[in-house]
């Protein structure tokens, strides 16, 4: 009995109400953060890859890029689709998609290795580098969107009470 009363009185306008408020996520912003992270990682790694592995290393780098970008784009679309349900749904979708992103990225990398007979070490290193860069980009995108969504509207804006 006591717990039901506590649960019903808990945070009527606090964090519980904020968790069900829609999160303002945008597809162009996701693309910007994801592609920005991937391009930055690729640009930083071109010269070391060329010096260590030559042209085959650059082929591995170019092959790993779509192997990681495609699962992250799909993951972002799933996260965008649940944004209306609130920040908890977005966080759950992001974490659950993590169970899919890594195996799919590794499988696509292995497929590139099998089809084009690329050096496995260089290819998997680039899959890992691009995966971590993409994870950082998507995380920053979601954190910034959550911060924007948790702030009250500006004075005079529609929805201000």
CA dihedral for 132, 133, 139, 143, sign (positive or negative): positive
**What pLDDT is attached to residue 20?**
75
Residue 9 lies in a domain: no
Residue 17, in any domain of the structure: no
13 lies in some domain: no
Tokens of 6: 């506590």
11 within some domain: no
Q: Which two tokens stand for residue 59?
A: 């082929």
Asked if residue 7 is part of any domain, the answer here is no
What residues make up the domain containing 136? 25-149
Q: Indicate the pLDDT class of residue 9, thresholds 50, 70 and 90.
A: very low
Whether residue 5 lies inside any domain: the answer is no
For 37-89, write each residue's pLDDT tens digit.
Answer: 999 999 999 999 999 999 999 999 999 999 999 999 999 999 999 999 999 99
Structural domain includes residue 3: no
The interaxial angle of helices 27-81 and 87-116, nearest 10 deg, is: 100
Helix (H, G, I), strand (E, B) or coil at 152: coil
User: Distance between CA 138 and CA 71 in Å, rounded?
Assistant: 12
Domain annotation covers residue 132: yes
pTM over 0.85: no
């Amino acid at each position: 009995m006591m717990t039901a009363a506590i649960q019903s009185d808990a945070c009527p306008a606090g964090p519980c109400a904020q968790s069900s408020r829609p999160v303002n996520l945008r597809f162009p912003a996701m693309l910007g953060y994801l592609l920005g992270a991937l391009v930055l990682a690729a640009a930083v790694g071109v010269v070391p890859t060329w010096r260590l592995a030559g042209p085959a290393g650059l082929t591995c780098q170019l092959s790993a890029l779509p192997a990681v970008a495609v699962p992250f784009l799909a993951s972002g679309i799933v996260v965008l689709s649940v944004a209306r349900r609130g920040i908890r749904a977005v966080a759950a979708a992001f974490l659950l998609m993590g169970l899919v992103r890594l195996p799919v990225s590794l499988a696509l990398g292995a497929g590139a290795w099998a089809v084009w007979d690329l050096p496995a070490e260089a290819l998997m290193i680039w899959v890992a580098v691009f995966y971590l860069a993409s994870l950082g980009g998507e995380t920053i995108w979601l954190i910034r969107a959550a911060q924007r969504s948790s702030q009250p509207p500006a004075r005079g804006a529609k929805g201000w009470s």
